[in-house]
Structure 1
Amino acid sequence: MSDLVAKYAALQALVKEIAEETADAHDDETVAQLAIDHHTVVRQFESIGNQRILEVSDRDAHRTAGCVTVSEFLQTKLRITHPKKRLDAVRSLEPMHAMTGEKLPPVCPNTARELAAGTIGPDHVHAVLDVMKKIPSTVDVEQRARAERVLAEFATTLAPKEIGAAGVRILAHLDPDGTLTDDRDRARNRKLNLGCQDSQLMSKLTATLDPITRALFDVVLAKWAAPGMNNPDDDQSPKGDHGDADLQLLKEAADRDHRSQSQRNHDAFKALLDAAVNGGLLGGSHRGLPPQIIVSITDAQLREHAGVARTATGTDLPISNVIKLAADAQTHLAVFSDVTGEPLFFGRGRRLASQAQRLMAFALYGGCSKDDCATPFAHTEMHHAERDWADGGLTDSPHMAPACGRHNRAVGSEPHQWATGKITDGPDKGRYGWRRNTDPPDQIRANHLHRIDELLLRHRDTLEGSVAPPAPTSDDVAEPSTDATPERRSFDVTWPRGLVTYAA
């Protein structure tokens, strides 16, 4: 065993000993100092952790842990919440190799030194890096280096928010007239982020818009967010552009409009997205699916008007919203054992899955089939899970499963790659699971992230001592049954605002 491995083993043993100790026998001053010393060491280990991550990246060692990318390794094996931010810190604080092989000094050497000393933490590092990213690209290297040195010094005494405030003054000093900022800087700093849904299923949208995008958005808001326009709470509210609205109707709607400007902006944005999705702007297909809202729900949810449905793009919708969308639904196609004209079996006749096959796979899996992968179905490919296409695999529904691009490419015969196989028993029977090539054949794992409702039902039924109803399996899509009452059916229903799949 190498010295480093032995030292980490000794460290873990020491950490266990420390965790079992208490500071009851020490005075208050010592207790306070112990807390300070503890968190200094924690910050120092953040720096050492960056070195370990860089070593993993340089050697592609993440593959030996069954991860396709370094980012996946950080997220799943190291349990790092924001892997992209951590990788940014590694690239900025650690010596990197140039294309020619020589080792380059850190981009932010002073910040790296303070983190290694334990005087600053990861939040301070991210605050410094955020300011450094906003320095115009035309600022010379010496001025950029001085700014980083000052920011690192501030970080030892200031809170992360205060570092941002100090950064504003530094940027004002470097570019007092705003003449150094150019289109490259604006392009580098543009962003639009859609946050996760909260407990009310609401999402926060944050953006930094370049000047042209801002100007375009102002035009949209001026017309679509005018008082009385696109009001979802008013059936008589004109929709779309107020230039096409009846002026008298618009005036009456405006008099009834009690929304704030922020709410009108939201409703205008919603109406604009609706026009894009349902007006043909997105074309006829996206990854084999219609570019519409596609939802999978059960007949029990429809009957009870309760629960949460998941869309193919990974959004959770309250059943009340689904019912509202489905008010004018028309039957589109059946994807399980009900009689259907949609072909689900192509054999070697074609390589790519049909729309009907993808809809069936969405109803069955909900997203990427690789265990613990959160990629929603709309961003997946159809993987020949029984046997790869190059090895003679068939493009038949029972032989395929959805997989995101990185996991689809991770399947292969190398030890660090993955294999897929059909689960033959248990609640996941009929679905495809994944295992590393170095794992025993019986360690095949299904993905439950996209079917949380099923998992909760299984736990409930286990606690109550009953047996949960079987989940739909790919065996249900065998040749069309002649039975007048098929065991389980699932229907995809489309309407002007989207498409819904429900299982009966």
Structure 2
Amino acid sequence: MIMAFDKPPPTPIRPTDVAPPPTTATSSATVRAELIDAYSDLARAVARIQELDADACTDSDTVHLAVEHEKLTRQMQSIGHRRLMDVADRDAWRLTGAATMRMFVANHLGVPDVKRRLDHAAALSETFTITGLQQPPELSATADALAEGAIAPEHVSVILDVTNRIPASVEIDDQVAAEVALAEHARTLSPSALRQVGVRLLAHLNPDGELTDDRDRARQRSMTLSRQDAQLMTKLTATLDPASPSGSVDDTDPDSEVVKDAAQRDSRSQAQRNHDALNALLKCVLDGGALGGSHRGLPPQLIISITETQLRESAGLGVTATGTELPWRDVVELAAKADPHLAVFADHTEEILYFGRARRTASRAQRMALFARDRGCTAPDCDQPAMHSEAHHLTDWAEGGRTDIDQLGVACPKHNRAAGPRRDQWTTRLDRTTGRVTWTPPATTQPINGPPRTRTNEIHHPDRLADRRPRHDVT
């Protein structure tokens, strides 16, 4: 209810009635009181919310409240970083009897992951130089997104991990652009999907593989079986390299001198031997045809996509149909034994990629082309690779959709069923300008006024993320 009151006529203000400007001490005292009162008001508001229930709310109300609660929780996390930095800058943690700031956070505040909380606070807070000059946060775009409540602390962990692994030799503008791109996509992606984007973004920033080399991968490969638990189950923990090792001896007799000499020179750990044994087994299964003849219309073989630029420059990473990335050297080694399929996006092939209504399912050639173009599920925020997805009719087959290459897109089974003609389903189409599949949310979620919102999936295309540059405001 809004109540209106009659206001008395304003009293003329004489110069002698104007109060003098507050002193710095008075201003500081006022701000201090306002801040303390604001937290008191917040505590009362939280207590009031705890007393209320949502039984009388509509379904839309409950969704709105859940979204608003999560947003406010994230905003409070951002403010909490400022509070931590206030304590750290003043060494105020000493007042609690703690020996260090970490002990204050762990014991006095009861924070479970102290390192993560302090790392977030340091990366997302403004700092001061030794001369008192204020510096922006290390991750400015990420700090803004968390302050808006658009991302969660788990997103911050992913962004911080990725940016910390960018080589110092990368141009500073590219480093900033990478952080901005990650912060933007964190607004729509889950932390796990964002981590995959980060891995691919790192590979794009460092196409020659300087982040890690073959020796690092060989040293870190492992596979370990834990002890049986109370249910007699055993956990398998493995760190697998991107490509299986190859090589054999002519004489496989374990008693032969060749095998004995090789065993004496073998310096691998047990975990590394387990790893190599698994790879050898998988290679035998793959080469022996034990996986059958088809999986989602594609052969059960290793399928790798790589750009013409990478072929020309002999650098970069190839991407498999399951989303695994392979260093260039591994691609070359595997290609020497491969049955290659070439996808060219021009009129350079006579392969039939247009079937109209003649057939409902996509051909193998079409699926190969879709994999090369989309790389994975095209639905927003989905990280499913092409091998776990299906050929999706952009216009539903039941509604007259055609099995033509420009009428198809990659979609995982879940999102394939989520698209259709109903009001509660997504609408898909191919953007002729960008060559990307766009998804329009259901009509039930569209704004009342304004054009419909369309979205694309950038998870499988980190090269496009790296090309983005931060936007600077013009004043």
Larger radius of gyration: 2
Q: Normalising by the residue count of structure 2, what TM-score does the alignment of the two structures yield?
A: 0.49
